[in-house]
Structure 1
Amino acid sequence: MPRTNKENRNLPKALLNRFLKREDGALSVEAMLILPLLFWSMFASYTYYDSYRQSAINIKGAYAVADVLSREAEDVNAAYINTMYDLLENMVDTRAPVSMRVTYLTYDGDNDLHDVLWSCVRGTGYQKWTDAEIVKIKQRLPVMPDNGSMILVETNNTYKAPFQMAFKFADFEMDNLVFTHPRVFDQIVNTDPACLGV
C-alpha cells in the first residue's frame, strides 16, 4: 500500500527519532570519549604521588647521613664522605644525579657569626661553604649557644616526571637542609684535604 503525503512528510522525523532512541554502540562511543581522560588522570595521579614520595625519600636520606655523622667518634676522611654519598644515592635511587654538601660549623656568640670548620661537597649541585658565604643561610640555621657546634647536611636532586602527559610537567629541584648536634664529641675532625681550607 503506497504511503500518503502526510506519511512521506513525517518519514524523516520518524527515522531521526528511531536513530536517536537506538542504544546499540553507545558503550563504544562513551569508552572512546572517556578512556583518554581516564588514562591521563591515572598517569597524573601517579606522577604527583611519585613526586611526593621522592621528596620524602630525599629528606630521609639527608637525616640518615646527618645521624650517622653525629655519632662519629673518629676522624672523617674522603673515603668516609664518599661512603655517605653512596649511602645517599642508594637511598634516593632517583632518575637524576644527587648532590650532597656536609658542613661542620661552630657559633661565635660574641660576634654573632658562624665559623665553617670544614665543608665537603659530592656531586655537582653545590660549592663548599666558607665563613663569608654561610651568612647567606643564617636565617635558616637554628639558634646556637656560644661555641656550640653543628653538622649541616644539604641534599639536592632534580625531580624528573616518569610520564610526559599532554601538558609539560616541569622538572623541579628538591633541596633539603638538615642540621644536628654531634652526639659523641663536640669536635668532628675532617682529614680530607678537599674539605679543608674553607
Structure 2
Amino acid sequence: MTPSTAERPQMPVEDFEELERLAPKTVKLEFINGKLEVKPLPDPVHGEIILWLIERCMQQRPDLGLYTDRGLKIEGYRKGRARPDGTLAPRRHFLARGQGEWADPDGVLMTLEVTSSDSDADRRDRREKRDGYAEAGIPVYLLVDRDHSTLVVYSEPKDGTYLNRRAHPYGTVVELPDPVGITLETAELEGFTN
C-alpha cells in the first residue's frame, strides 16, 4: 500500500514557502494535506461576494477586520499553509503579532472560502480546508457554496472536526455564531450568478 500524501508530503514546508514566495502573482499556491495546490484566481462574482461580506462585517463588527488572502499556518493539519478567501480577526491582530507572510491561527475568529468553478473546489474547500481549519481550532468556518447557492456555517471545532454544520440557502438570514456574532441577510446573493 502506498502512503498518502499527508503521511509523506510532496516537499518540506520550508521549500513550499520559498516556492510560493517566488511564484508569479497570476497564481496562488497553498500547501494542503501535504500536497501543493494551485488556487485559481477569482472571477468577478467571487470578488463581489467577498466585498459583500467585508461590508457586512465592517457594519456590524467594526472592531474586526476581514482580511483577504492572509496566509495561515495550519500546522496541526499536516504542516499545511492555506490562504483563506477571508480571515476574520480583531483589527491590527496580525500587525501586533509580527508574523510575516504565514501567520499562526491563534486569535482568528473565522475563515471564509467562496467556491470557485474549478474541479478541485469540492475536495479543497468542502473537505480538506474545512478539516484544516477545524484542526487549527478556528471557531467558525463559513463556506459560500456557489454551486448550491448556500452558505454553510461550521462551528464548534473539536478533535479536528467541526461538531456543528448548518446550510442556509441564499435569501435567508444567517446568524454567524459567537465569537463572530454577525447576522447576514443574504437576499442580495440571489443576484450573484456564476
TM-score for both structures, normalised by structure 2: 0.24
Larger Cα Rg: Structure 1 or Structure 2? 1
Q: Determine which structure has greater relative contact order: mean sequence separation of CA pairs < 8 Å that are 6+ residues apart, divided by chain length.
A: 1
Considering fraction of residues, name the structure with more helix.
Answer: 1
Determine which structure has the larger strand proportion and give its number: 2
TM-score normalised over the length of structure 1: 0.24
